[in-house]
């Protein structure tokens, strides 16, 4: 299970002293990088294979606020792959309290043709066996 620890810097907060709402999407992106890395891949490797995964939908449900210097734990999973779309769910916690949950949906694109493409096989493996790293 991938867990990204992230300490909130002052730059992430708004005038009210809480994490600016849009920054949670950046946290989701940081998590996506780590879950891919834990699976033995990076976005750079996907791009070398000719696959891009742009975000086509992003949803965030806010339950409580994070503040400057909070140590957050960001976790999640590859939730589903249907056709050319991949859904990645994320949750943000502070001291075990759920602050935010949400997801991003990505379209897999063949970078050479610009056409939709099926997700790489490892994505399906991560959905079926989320705790199995790449061998």
Residue 11 lies in a domain: yes
Supply φ then ψ for residue 46, to 5 degrees: -60, -45
pLDDT, tens digit, 9 for 90 and up, residues 54-81: 999 999 999 999 999 999 999 999 999 9
Please count the helices (runs of H) and the strands (runs of E) in the chain: 3, 7
Residue 90 is inside which H or E element, if any? strand 85-94
Q: How far is residue 69's CA from residue 57's CA, in Å, rounded to a whole number?
A: 29
Residue 95 lies in a domain: yes
Residue 82: per-residue pLDDT: 92
Domain holding 105: CATH number? 3.10.129.10
Residue 131: per-residue pLDDT: 64
What would the mean pLDDT of 36-44 be, rounded to a whole number?
Answer: 89
Q: pLDDT category, 33, cuts 50, 70, 90?
A: very high
What would the mean pLDDT of 25-34 be, rounded to a whole number?
Answer: 96
Residue 134 lies in a domain: no
Residue 120: per-residue pLDDT: 85
The number of distinct structural domains making up the chain is 1
Domain extent for 53: 3-128
Contact assessment for residue 134 and residue 39, using Cβ atoms and an 8 Å cutoff: yes
Identify which of 64, 67, 108, 112 has the alpha carbon closest to the alpha carbon of residue 86: 108
Q: How far is residue 66's CA from residue 13's CA, in Å, rounded to a whole number?
A: 9
pLDDT, tens digit, 9 for 90 and up, residues 83-126: 999 999 999 999 999 999 999 999 999 999 999 999 988 888 88
Residue 111 lies in a domain: yes
Residue 19 lies in a domain: yes
Residue 128 has pLDDT above 60, yes or no: yes
Q: How far is residue 71's CA from residue 5's CA, in Å, rounded to a whole number?
A: 7
Residue 102 lies in a domain: yes
Residue 135 lies in a domain: no
Q: pLDDT category, 39, cuts 50, 70, 90?
A: confident
Residue 133 lies in a domain: no
């Amino acid at each position: 299970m991938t867990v990204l620890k992230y300490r909130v810097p002052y730059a992430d907060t708004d005038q009210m002293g809480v994490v600016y709402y849009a920054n949670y999407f950046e946290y989701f992106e940081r998590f996506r990088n780590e879950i891919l890395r834990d699976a033995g891949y990076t976005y750079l490797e996907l791009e070398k294979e000719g696959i891009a995964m742009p975000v086509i939908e992003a949803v965030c449900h806010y339950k409580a606020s994070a503040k400057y210097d909070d140590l957050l734990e960001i976790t999640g999973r590859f939730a589903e792959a249907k056709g050319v779309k991949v859904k990645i769910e994320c949750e943000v916690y502070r001291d075990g309290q759920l602050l935010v949950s949400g997801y991003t949906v990505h379209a897999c694109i063949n970078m050479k043709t610009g056409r939709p493409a099926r997700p790489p096989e490892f994505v399906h493996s991560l959905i079926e066996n989320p705790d199995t790293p790449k061998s």
